[in-house]
Amino acid sequence: MNRKWMGSFLIILLLTFGIWMFFNSPFSTSQQALPAEVKTDGTSILDIGNQKAGDRPVKTFSLTAQEKEWQINEDKQVEAWTYNGTVPGEPLRVTEGDFVNVHLKNELSVPVTIHWHGMILPNQMDGVPGLTQDAVQPGESFTYEFIANDAGTYWYHSHQHSSKQVDKGLYGSLIIEEKDPAYQQEQTYMLDEWAVDQEKQSFTNMGGMMMGSMSGDGEADTKQMYDTLTVNGKSGKAIEPLQMETGETARLRFVNAGYQQHRLVFPEGSIEVIAADGEEVVTDEPSANMLEIAPGERIDVAFTRQGEEAEVIGEDPTTEYDRGMKIPVVSEEKADSFSYDQLSVSSASSQETGTSNGSEELLFKQTPESDVTYHMDLSMGMDMGEGMSFQINNKVFPDTPLIPVSEGDVVKVRITNSGRLNHPMHLHGHRFQVASKDGQAYENPIVKDLIHVKPGEEYTVYFKADNKGEWLFHCHDNNHADRGMVTIVDYQGVYSPFKLDGEHNNQP
């Protein structure tokens, strides 16, 4: 056998084995405490930022985590974990300024929590087991309380072993309405992907994932892991049509609750992007007709129905296949008579992303001087005995270097992706201003809490350390976070009394 060929064969064999290990060996956090740099003296996070209702309106909800056989369409069903028996969980709608009270009861056989994705709230309400609370054990309850200060599109999900629990359906929408809504008609769409006709971690898929990764496809792993796309927990003909008359405009809120980026194509000239990650944006030109939404990201559009015939919003047809993600747009009169099979998704003429437009309100009017600078290098590696790892600065959580800050600091984070897969990086408890991409400053910066960093890309973001606590900064492809791509914004003078794993099995 030719030596060169033999060497290549061995490399491919080792890579395949490593990827198989990645999907088939649990990433254990057993008996691990937070890094030594996290302070154990000062003020406990339980004594910081407590909020009371006062004379505010109080909105109260009850969410029960429970197992449910969930029907995705007439042919497919999954064993799901749910909040209140549905996927997504019960939609929570409040008005800006309300005091929100959510009582979580756990009827599952495993611990759970609720994280309020994108919300600026007290650290102790953030829902991260081992950092801001102990996981809620089977049969037990926990109450979350916070003020809904900022109107926008948010969502909630479990942060306990989230790579599995969110994947199984433990998520829902949280909409904070303006006191004077700009749009009378609106809909919320939560996008997700499921392994229905295949085993999620099937070894037979690993070769394709490996080759895709080697060729630079940043979505290689998720494309191989899932076979069915859903909108609000439904796929194909089971997706509820959007009922609108020609010329009507509605606010459509899109939330990517999965781990795969989605490219939605709209009828030409039908949308204007109006918000990203809960922040209103400024648009100087007509929006494109394809919208790329990263895992964990939220993008709102003003959608105007164009024609008399049935229209469709759907996954980009140039991807491998849509796997069932099509939203019909029909009049009320024809809601029961249109042909789903004849709905054809348009070709994309141009694309927008979560950073295509600047924000109306900025954190910094000009690029600030930083008090703290942190370089976050995202990479892939091999963890002996554990398979593939996803690293920050060549380390995996909980050994990743922290971001030490003091209250009032301006923090500059330069994020580079030196790996081969996409990494949507999400910061808890803060918003950051995206200043530049690949060294080129944005003319119109945007304020977000999640930035989608693709292979070879570099972003520089700034945020103000103005919410004391211990906050996660992690990849929102939760499979990557589970394999180590997590760090902590560590405020000096405060500490968390909670520990990873332990008797509560805390696994963020």
pLDDT at 283: 86
Q: What local confidence, expressed as pLDDT, does residue 323 receive?
A: 66
Q: Who contacts 10 (Cβ-Cβ below 8 Å, separation ≥6)?
A: none
Residue 213 pLDDT exceeds 60: no
Give phi and psi for 223, each to the nearest 5.
Answer: -60, -35
Average predicted confidence (pLDDT) for the chain: 89
Positive/negative CA dihedral, 359, 362, 365, 367: negative
- What's the average model confidence in pLDDT over 283-304? 93
Task: Give 203 or 68, the one with higher predicted confidence.
Answer: 68
Between 252 and 213, residue with greater pLDDT: 252
Q: 65 or 27: which carries more pLDDT confidence?
A: 65
| pLDDT given for residue 200 in this prediction | 60
Q: Is the pLDDT of residue 12 over 80?
A: no
- Report pLDDT for 346: 85
Question: What percent of the chain is predicted at pLDDT more than 70?
Answer: 87
Decide if 130 contacts 90 (C-beta within 8 A).
Answer: no
Q: Residue 498: which of 136, 143, 198 has the closest Cα?
A: 136
Angle of the 206-214 helix axis to the 3-24 helix axis, nearest 10: 120
Residue 262 corresponds to which tokens in the numbers above?
Answer: 């989605």
Residue 338: pLDDT band with limits 50, 70, 90: confident
- Residue 11 has what pLDDT? 42
- pLDDT 10s digits, 53-71: 999 999 999 999 999 999 9
| pLDDT of amino acid 336 | 80
* Average pLDDT rounded to a whole number, residues 290-304: 97
What is the per-residue pLDDT for 271?
96
* Exposure on the CB side of residue 151, measured as CA atoms within 13 A: 12
pLDDT of residue 412: 98
Would the pLDDT of 295 be above 80?
A: yes
pLDDT in tens, 449-481: 999 999 999 999 999 999 999 999 999 999 999
Q: Which tokens is 238 given?
A: 């089971």
Residues 333-341 have a mean pLDDT of 83
Helix (H/G/I), strand (E/B), else coil: 124: helix
Average pLDDT of the residues in 319-334:
82
Query: Which residues have C-beta within 8 Å of that of residue 389, sequence separation ≥ 6?
Result: 27, 380, 381, 382, 383, 396, 483, 484
Residue bearing the bigger pLDDT, 381 or 36: 381
233 near 72, Cβ under 8 Å?
yes
